[in-house]
Structure 1
Amino acid sequence: MDRREYNTDGTNIFAEDWDNLVILDACRDDQFRMSNTLSGEVETKISRGSNTSEFLKANCNGQDLEDTVYVTASPIYYYHQDAIDASFHEVINVWNEAGWHEDVKTVLPETTTEYALDAYEEYPNKRLLVHYIQPHYPFIESDTEFDKKQLHDGAEKDKSFWHELNNGQLDISRRRLWDLFEENLERALPHVEELVEELDGRTVVTSDHGNMFGERSSPIPVPFFGHPPKLYTDQLVRVPWLVRESGDRRNIVAGESRADTDSIDDETVSERLADLGYVEM
């Protein structure tokens, strides 16, 4: 594990030029390129984090973001907000809204798109940061149980399935796991395309981090699965950076923060985190 607070070789997303930035959670560069159906020029960037919390802390901490509205299907920013000195104009926590899908235990990509389009209409002169959960599990169209904690009776309640997989407690092939992530990505991409088709300006589609599917990392040369913090392998920090220009650039202006500082029930936050596999942060 690296001793730095974050991957200082990575890209500061807020120093880049964009009007809209779309994050696909846990989408590595090579997997995106294999499944991508979006038009636009695709580059590769290096992420500042190897998991979501590290990515958000490294990019948001100390930033004046009152020109940006953050629409997020992930509870990670809310969970760590006390440790992140940032001031978004607005934060829309889709995971705490009616958008949470109780059957699948996640936010569906079409729901994230719906909330993002509403925010785009309400805040036409703000940058838009949209965070989809997919391809991160749970796997929406799959009947698998290991990724759905409430169904996986044999699972330790305080351990993710990555822990089980790395400790030989879960029998699934690298190929099968790769395919499940690919299916989740392909499930999301049409809804991402629906969003970017509606957005004016310079839109970027990227990821917060990648994922390891049994590759070996130094200094411990054993197969590893997952995306822990402070492990900066190519599989974890190489992310796609698709740029798409459409219409006129928007006139982006800052405005006083309207981000809701009211507390969300701790039990709700814990349940959402557990459903998404965040049990050790």
Structure 2
Amino acid sequence: MDARPRLSRALKNPILFCRHANRLYHRRLGLRSYNEDGIDPFAADWDNLLVLDACRYDMFERRADLPGRLRRVESRASTTVEFLRANVGGRDLRDTVYVTANPQLHQHRESIEAQFAAVVDVWRADGWDDEHGTVLPETVTAAALRANEEHPDKRLVIHYMQPHYPFIGADTRFAGGDFTDTEASEENVWVQLLQGRLDADREGIWELYDANLDRALPHVEEAMEKLGGRTVVTADHGNMVGERAFPIPFREWGHPRGVYTPELVSVPWLVYEDGPRRKIRASTAGHGEESADDDVVAERLRDLGYAE
């Protein structure tokens, strides 16, 4: 990947330059492409892996009251694409069905080159919620239960979009911008906060961020109870909410790639046992990715707050 355009933008913006410098530190000047201290979730023993997008460990510990044994683990990634490349890139996962609300797997399928038994793109037309500009958690759970019926001998990965931006049902307006209206700005709340163009206190942001997780948890619990077997609830990465970055200590927001602060890589690992284990069998052939309109994928990613 050519990093020169990103470097050029960073040189024109002091905050982005500081972020780029921190990235160089965390990635050892490019000697590592992901957080090598993180776990490999796909090597673990589970029937169902429920992934909450951008869910910090401390946030999950405070808000979640799900059954099971919880511990803190370290992710290999600070973004979804990094999570996918580090954990499934080039891997034979024909014993696994990936049910996802996040279009990043489709967007980067050629470079990730993972083989799944099937991929269920819930973000396509029938699963996308235009009002909120995202995929609702109940839609993901329903798709996961259908996938379980259709593939009873496969492991399931269920990738929820929440608590990742956008904030479902948020009607709060802050001075300097309205991040609840996707047409009001092409940049999400984290970018606006990072660049000082949104006047908001951290407590208010935390309330919205927490509420997004709260909105998802009942549907996560429904999936845990109905799928059975051994379920793990985790996250692909965390999120910065105005904490000081490292080593350059500016206030960071969002989840920049290649930066491995505790807020970005400390994620939950909740193990829940419920009934007999699934008998897993690999498919003889990998899944052929269904095509999607490039403009639709780009629009979905913009709504979800992903910058180009």
TM-score, normalisation: structure 2: 0.87
- What do residues 119-176 of structure 1 show as CA deviations (whole Å, max 9, x unaligned)? 0111111000000000011111211464345332xx3x3x443222111101111111
Q: Deviations over 1:102-133 (max 9, x none)?
A: 11111110000000000011111100000000
- What letter matches 2:79 in structure 1? N
Which residue number corresponds to residue 191 of structure 2? 163
Aligned length: 276
Return structure 1 stretches of 4+ with deviation > 6 angstroms: none
SS in structure 2 of the partner of residue 101 of structure 1: coil
Structure with the higher fraction of residues in helix conformation: 2
Which residue of structure 2 aligns with residue 105 of structure 1? 133
d(CA) in 2 for partners of 1:147 and 1:26? 18
> Counterpart in 2 of 1:36?
64
Cα contact 1:125–1:252 (8 A) shared by 2: yes
- For residue 263 of structure 2, the aligned residue among 235, 251, 257 is 235
Work out the percentage of aligned pairs sharing the same amino acid.
52
Counterpart of 1:135? 163
Amino acid at match of 1:147: F
Of stretches 95-104 and 239-248 in structure 1, the one that deviates more from structure 2 is: 95-104
2:158 partner letter: V
Q: Report the residue type matching 1:22 in the other structure.
A: L
Shift of 1:258: 5.4
Residues 1:275 and 2:303 aligned together? yes
The answer to whether the 8 Å contact 2:133/2:182 transfers is: no
2:87 equivalent in structure 1: 59
Indicate conservation of the 8 Å contact 1:44/1:239, yes or no: yes
Contact 2:56/2:268 (<8 A) preserved: yes
The answer as to whether partners of 1:35 and 1:186 remain within 8 angstroms in 2 is yes
TM alignment of 1:1-281, pairs within 5 A: 1=23, 2=27, 3=30, 4-144=32-172, 146-148=178-180, 150-152=182-184, 155=185, 157=186, 159-257=187-285, 259-280=287-308
Distance 1:79 1:165 in 2: 27
Equivalents in 2 of 1:49, 1:73: separation in Å?
18
- Please give the TM-score of this superposition, normalised by the length of structure 1: 0.95
Task: Give RMSD over aligned pairs.
Answer: 1.3
CA distance in structure 2 between the partners assigned to 1:14 and 1:223 by the alignment = 33
- Residue 256 (structure 1) shift: 3.0
